[in-house]
Structure 1
Amino acid sequence: MKLVFLHTSDTHGFLLPTDYQDKHDYEAPISLSRVSTAIKAQREKWGADKVVVTDAGDCLQGSPLASFCHKDESYERLDNFTAAYNEIGYDGRCLGNHDFNFGQDYLKHYIKKNTASFVNDNILDEKTDNPAFGQEYKIIERQDIKIGLLGITTQYVPHWEPEEHIRGLKFVSAFDQIKKLAPKLKKDVDILAVMYHGGFESDPVTGVATEPHNGENEGYKILKEIPEVDVFLTGHQHRRLNLVVDNTAIVQPGYRGECVAQVVIDLDKTSDGIKINSLETSLIETKDYEPDPAIVKDITDVDRQAQAWLDQPIAHLSEPAPIKSAFEGRTKGAPFINLLQQMQIYFTGADISATAVMSEKARGFTNQTVTLREVILNYPYANQLCKVRLTGKELKEILEHTATFLEKDNEGNINFIDRYIKPKPQLYHFDVFYPLRYEVDLSKPHGHRVVELTLHGKPIEDEHIYHLAVNNYRAMGGGFYPAYSMDKIEMMLDKDYVQMFTEYLTSGEVKVDTKQYYKFY
């Protein structure tokens, strides 16, 4: 007999097939609406009595539509948004880190309106150590087969979220919780599946480390040390994974609803229990499926309002502030990057600002009139701005870390190293600094590549204290940077980047700085 898991993750509020770059384009090969049609087709193919449908979080934030829904204090738009997810008919879900971006009241309303069960094993009430949301496990029956579901989230959420978003919560190791719960639940079920909003710190096949083992991703450790897990339904890293390792099926379905991950288990039920004959994994491309009319109906009116909201002009510049390309912006600078840095200094009064190019499609402000659409497409994350206290020595360590992202090939071309491109693109971790003037010699060994470093014509001094404007994701440890820690945060603004751009660009005459401040060679 067959048992089929269909799994989604990291849809990030892309409910309709558009990335919002072009208000008239609804042909993008993504979206929850395409996911829904694909899942309905698979249910019909296999039979609903053989199918289990799961999701591993990061739904509430990420798209302009999601941002627009959050602007509604009545939560009516959130209800429409949630209704679209309810159309899928999930059997079990877990939370993602970005589901905390808008605070607990918003998240709790979303959970309450969901028809699916949320399973949560490692986000605990700090007073009781009980699951703060949802239930500890769920048991589903399909054709007299008992399936146990556990749900875990990356424990790293407190490194990214402001305290008010996670007050009263305790995030513990996903590995520790599954190590404790899996043997207990496996006794009562035939198949054990784990939904994990987290990924792999090492290659699942070779075991080679792919990132620092800091606890953000614990998938490899779970895979290798918890044999009770039959099906591992992952997310967070936006990877496309489908493989079987050590008799465990592993899947991860990419980003924005580009795929539905599928696990097909061929099994027999015998007098001695379940015998698994085979495990097969695959990724179903949703571009091959039309949007589900039910989801289109749920969200079309809200989406139409969101498109009008995105086209609102918020300011008029004296001249455009473009980015020629994401790569050139990172390696040579761009007027938009300087403008963003100027804004961060304006709000914090910091000496220096740091930011990344947040999107590969970022093109900055290509016209003098700036719209909300341009702000969100260039800075799509729900970050908050911080001011951080650092010594000159710590600042140099941070810049030396950014220098490890780059290398020169045999022809002398500058490239980003594979680690930040594969298996998951992570160039949003590469920060540039303003108005520091610095040069990086990539021929030198790591730790000695920053060869020129001045601020307003003066060298950076090791013992001097500098104040840096940077987003909370980085200030709280995101990106594996040295020197940053929560105790160094001096202030955190309660504004999002749309609010800041609106206020800054309408505060008076804003001169776009077109100078280049850094050089890599």
Structure 2
Amino acid sequence: MKLIILHSSDTHGFLMPTDYQDKNDYNAPISLSRVSSVVKSEKKKYGSDNVLVTDSGDCLQGSPLASFTHELPEQEGLKKFTEAYNEVGYDARALGNHDFNYGLDYLSYYVDNNSAPFVNDNVLDAQTDVPFFGKEYEIVEKAGLKIGIMGITTQYITHWESEEHIRGLKFVSGYDVLSKLAKKIRPQVDILVALYHGGFESDPESGEATEPHTGENEGYKILTEIPEIDVFLTGHQHRRLNLVAHDTAIVQPGYRGESVAKVTLDVTRDQDGKAHINEMKTELIDTKDYDPDPAIEKIVYDLDKKTQAWLDRPIAKLSEPAPIEDAMKGRIEGAPFINLIQQMQLWFTGADVSATAVMSDTAKGFSKDVTMREVLLNYPYANQLCLVKLTGKELREIIEYSASFLEKTSDGKIKFVDRLLKPKRMLYHFDVFYPVHYEADLSKPAGRRLTKLTLDGEPIDDNRIYHLAVNNYRALGGGFYPAYSMDKIEKTFDQDYVQMFSEYLTSEDVKVDTQKNYKFY
């Protein structure tokens, strides 16, 4: 018997083959429509009864189309959005952390209107400790085999998501629940599959730690300590993974529908009827080699066209542009667009200091005529702004930590350290700060690099209280920064960044600060 498993994850609402940079370009090597074509092609090749199709979340947020969909009544926008995912023909799905970004009502509508069951074992009702969404597990019959499917998401959602979006929920360790559930389901099935919106805290083969073991990613622990699992279908880290390790097939299909992960199992039964896996193969099928599925394009056509019109809607006029000519260079050297974000955050909060990251590697900043397209392409995340109370010592520790992400090469150039680039690009973890003036000597040990840190011409006082404006992702612990914690958040602002840009840029004649206030050497 041959069982084919096809897996997608982290499509982030990119339903059409466009990144929305150019309104006329629909040739991008991504999209749910290309994923769907891969799935339909593989089903035609092997027969639908031999193909299991899964997804591990992060579908509702991330693309301009997803943002526009959220602006509409659910029956008008989310209904069509959900129909597109239904067209792929999934057999089981799991939730991702970004699926909570628009709140529980929105997510519940999406879950309830999906034709595939959501399998959820670690997002619980806080009062009853039972799964809040979906089913504890699903057993599907394919290729003459009984396949058990478990589903978990990263427990770290509470560190990123606003309280109102997850009120009444309890997030527990995926490892803890699967270690028990796997033993319960294993005797009932021939093949046991785990869907996980999470990744690996250590290298799947060597076991070498690749990030701090905070519980955000528990993949290695699950892989090595739950031997009942045959197939491990992952996401969240946007990595391209396909390998067999620890007698388990492991895959992760990247980002925005760039690939579909494929697991092929060759299975036989012995005289007692027990299934045995003779061979496991894994691969990634690049979707760029497949034309978009016309069925999905038909479903999404009107929604996409309205999205393009919405993106060209003017937000405000600036007296001068606020560019960031190159995102990588801008992070290290500064840019007017970065300063503009900081100015906006200070305007809303009245804070002493502001912190931000460059959120997109393709960020170009704002022209004089700012459109919704520019806002979303430069700041694609549904974050909220927080006001955080810190001592000067804690502020210094935070800035030192950010400086630890840089190093000098032998020829004197400044670059980001590998842990911010591999196994996943996480440059959104590198924050810069304003209007403090600071300098860091990268030849010094991490944690002792700052040679200058002043505010309004005065050195930062370790014992004084300062107020910092920063997004909720960072304020709640995203990026493993020191000093941040929930109890230090004084206020969370209701607006998301799109709304804040709209309000700030139309509130007054904004003058963009073009001066550089930090230096790494």
**TM-score, normalisation: structure 1:** 0.99
Equivalent position of 1:183 in the other structure: 183
**Contact map agreement 2:266 2:279 (CA 8 A) in 1:** yes
What's the CA shift for 1:449?
Answer: 0.3
Where 2:451 maps in the other structure, the secondary structure is strand
> Is 1:470 matched with 2:470?
yes
Looking at structure 1, the residues matched to 238 and 282 of structure 2 have their Cα atoms a distance apart, in angstroms, of 17
Amino acid across the alignment from 1:124? L
Q: Find out whether 1:351 has 2:356 as its counterpart.
A: no
| Displacement of 1:403 | 1.2
Residue 372 of structure 1 corresponds to 372
SS of 1:244's equivalent in the other structure is strand
Paired residues for 1:445-484 under 5 Å = 445-484=445-484
Contact 2:2/2:143 (CA < 8 Å) preserved in 1? no
Q: Comparing 138-147 with 341-350, which one deviates more in the overlay?
A: 138-147
Q: Do 1:69 and 1:75's aligned partners in 2 also have CA atoms closer than 8 Å? A: no
> Which whole-Å CA distance do the structure 2 matches of 1:256 and 1:69 have between them?
17
Q: CA deviation at 1:269?
A: 1.5
Query: Secondary structure in 2 aligned to 1:106?
Result: helix
Per-residue CA deviation, residues 44-91 of structure 1 (Å, 9 max, x unaligned), is 111111110000000000000000000013441100000000001100
SS at match of 2:77: helix
Q: Is the 8 A contact 1:182 1:228 kept in 2?
A: yes
- Cα distance in 2 for partners of 1:229, 1:351 equals 51
- Alignment-derived partner of residue 67 in structure 1: 67
What's 2:35 paired with? Answer: 35
Residues 74 and 205 (structure 1), Cα distance of their counterparts in 2 relative to 1, 3 Å cut: closer
**Alpha-carbon separation, structure 2, partners of 1:175 and 1:404:** 31
The match for 2:408 is: 408
The letter of the residue matching 1:497 is Y
Determine if the alignment matches structure 1 residue 340 to structure 2 residue 341.
yes
Q: Say which SS state the counterpart of residue 491 (structure 2) adopts.
A: strand
Structure 1: distance between partners of 2:448 and 2:91: 53
- Measured after TM superposition, the shift of residue 329 of structure 1 is 1.2
* Distance in 2 separating the partners of 1:405 and 1:471: 19
Tell me if structure 1 keeps the 8 A contact 2:122–2:172. Answer: yes
**Alignment match, 2:111:** 111
1:129-144 mapped onto 2 (5 Å cutoff): 129-144=129-144
Contact 1:230–1:249 (8 Å) recurs in 2:
yes
The one-letter amino acid paired with 1:278 is: E
1:225 aligns with 2:222: no
Query: Structure 1, residues 154-199: CA drift from partner, whole Å, max 9, x if none?
Result: 0000100010100000000000011010011001001000000000
Q: Which amino acid aligns with 2:289?
A: D
Is the 8 Å Cα contact of residues 315 and 506 (structure 1) preserved in structure 2? yes
Q: Following superposition of structure 1 onto structure 2, how do residues 416-455 of structure 1 map, counting pairs within 5 Å? A: 416-455=416-455
Identity among equivalent positions (%) equals: 68
Q: Which amino acid aligns with 1:122?
A: N
Mean alpha-carbon deviation: is it higher for 285-294 or for 71-80?
A: 71-80
2:47 corresponding residue in structure 1: 47
Consecutive unaligned residues of structure 1, counting only runs of 5 or more, are none
Task: Summarize the alignment of residues 207-286 of structure 1 with structure 2, pairs less than 5 Å apart.
Answer: 207-272=207-272, 273-286=274-287
What letter matches 1:95 in structure 2?
Answer: L
Q: Displacement, 1:327? A: 1.3
Partner of 1:503: 503
TM-superposition CA deviations, 1:77-132 (whole Å, max 9, x none): 10000000000110000000000000000000011110000000000001111000
- The match for 2:120 is 120
* Contact 1:38/1:289 (8 A) holds in 2: yes
Distance 1:279 1:25, change over 3 A: same
What's the secondary structure of 1:194's corresponding residue? strand
User: C-alpha separation between the residues in 2 aligned to 1:416 and 1:438?
Assistant: 18
1:393-404 alignment, distance < 5 Å? 393-404=393-404
Do the aligned residues in 2 keep the contact of 1:16 with 1:32 (CA within 8 Å)?
yes
Which letter does structure 1 place at the counterpart of 2:275? I
1:360-419 Cα shifts (integer Å, max 9, x gaps): 000101x21000000000000000000000000000110111111111111011010111
Structure 2 CA distance for aligned equivalents of residues 88 and 200 of structure 1: 27
For 1:73-84, list aligned pairs within 5 A.
Answer: 73-84=73-84
Alignment RMSD: 0.6
1:95: which partner in 2? 95
In structure 2, distance between residues paired with 1:264 and 1:215: 30
| Equivalent position amino acid for 1:298 in 2 | I
3-state secondary structure, aligned to 2:155: coil
Which runs of no fewer than 5 residues in structure 2 stay unpaired?
Answer: none
Shift of 1:466: 0.4
Q: Is the 8 A contact 1:68 1:306 kept in 2?
A: yes
- Distance in 1, matches of 2:183 and 2:28, equals 43
Q: Following the alignment from structure 2 to structure 1, what is the Cα–Cα distance between the partners of residues 267 and 210?
A: 34
Aligned to 2:52, the other structure's residue is in SS state: strand
User: Which consecutive aligned stretches of 4+ in structure 1 deviate over 4 angstroms post-superposition?
Assistant: none
SS of 2:227's partner is coil
Q: Deviations over 1:420-451 (max 9, x none)?
A: 10110000000000001000100001111011
3-state secondary structure, aligned to 1:187: helix
CA distance in 2, matches of 1:217, 1:61: 20
1:265-318 Cα deviation digits (max 9, x unpaired): 001012341111100000000000001011000001010001000001110000
Instruction: For 2:240, give the aligned amino acid.
Output: R
Distance 1:144 1:283 in 2: 25
Q: Normalising by structure 2, what TM-score?
A: 0.99
Q: Which amino acid aligns with 1:326?
A: A
- Partner Cα separation in structure 2 for residue 433 and residue 303 of structure 1: 37
Name the CA distance, whole Å, in 2 between partners of 1:43 and 1:395: 55
- AA partner of residue 457 (structure 1): G
